[in-house]
Amino acid sequence: MIGVQGCSTRQFQRQMSRPGKLHAKQTHDVLLDAIGYQTVPRMVDPSRMVKSLDQLYASAAAVNAVVLDHLKRWALKSRGMFPCDSGSGDGRVVYRYWKDVEGSPSERLVRWSCLKKHSRAMEKMTRSLSDDPSRLLDLCRHAIVLDSPHDVAVCLGQVAIDQEVRIERIKNRMSLSYDSSVTAGYRDLAINFRLITPATLALGVEVHVCELQLVLLRFAEVRSNEGHKRYISWRNLRGV
């Protein structure tokens, strides 16, 4: 899959900026015209790694506003589910098929993911990423919950054939060769990708790398609520 998408080199597993170039013709940006500089869309510059966490969050927020429509489409075609409030007032989470929720009153109960918390981003960057913000690939991250490995494969296929997606990396924690003790027994399939749409191009954020986790229902249920709290305690003990 990685080879097919043309992203086998490790340098693309980083957050990078567009390349810049001097230009002579006018643009719609008065400031850029004044300094004679513009960026090149659809391309990344390996020499311009993102060094600012603020820049990353600004890009992630912009992409997050666009990616939701893609998530819904992928889930619809793969029997995907999203976490929803149970509606019972006790804060309990249930997982419902998007095909059953879309357009219904229950759609307002879907708990869409937010950007990674600033405290966790700083923690991860300090503990595991050598204080390098360009290695944070999951500020904008979402999950689609699925019933079976077959549905996971279908969903991955939908992402791969999406003409507005460029896959940068796939981490297959469902592989038999993966040592699940590293993640306390937890497994999923994580896709790092860039979203190249008219909206992200206009905003200049088509170079931002997002993450989509494809999670089996049993694992999603375990990591909810108390299970996730126990995982955080375990992760803190390991210092990652």
Going by pLDDT thresholds of 50, 70 and 90, the confidence category of residue 8 is very low
Mean pLDDT value of segment 72-76? 98
Other CB atoms within 10 Å distance of the CB of residue 130: 8
Polymer length of the chain: 240
The 10s digit of each residue's pLDDT in 94-147 is 999 999 999 999 999 999 999 999 999 999 999 889 999 999 999 999 999 999
Q: Is the pLDDT at 4 greater than 70, yes or no?
A: no
Chain segment 211-236, per-residue pLDDT in tens: 999 999 999 988 766 655 555 665 66
**DSSP string of 99-157, one letter each residue:** HHHTTSGGGGGB-PPPPPPHHHHHHHHHHHSTT-GGG---SSEEEEEESSHHHHHHHHH
H/E stretch holding 159: helix 149-161
Q: What is the pLDDT of residue 20?
A: 79
pLDDT-derived band of residue 155, with 50, 70 and 90 as boundaries? very high
Whole-model pTM: value is 0.85
Whether residue 156 contacts residue 214, with contact meaning beta carbons closer than 8 Å, is answered with yes
224-237 as b/e: b if 16+ CB within 10 A: eeeeeeebeeebee
pLDDT at 14: 93
Q: What local confidence, expressed as pLDDT, does residue 2 receive?
A: 37
pLDDT (0 to 100) of residue 183: 81
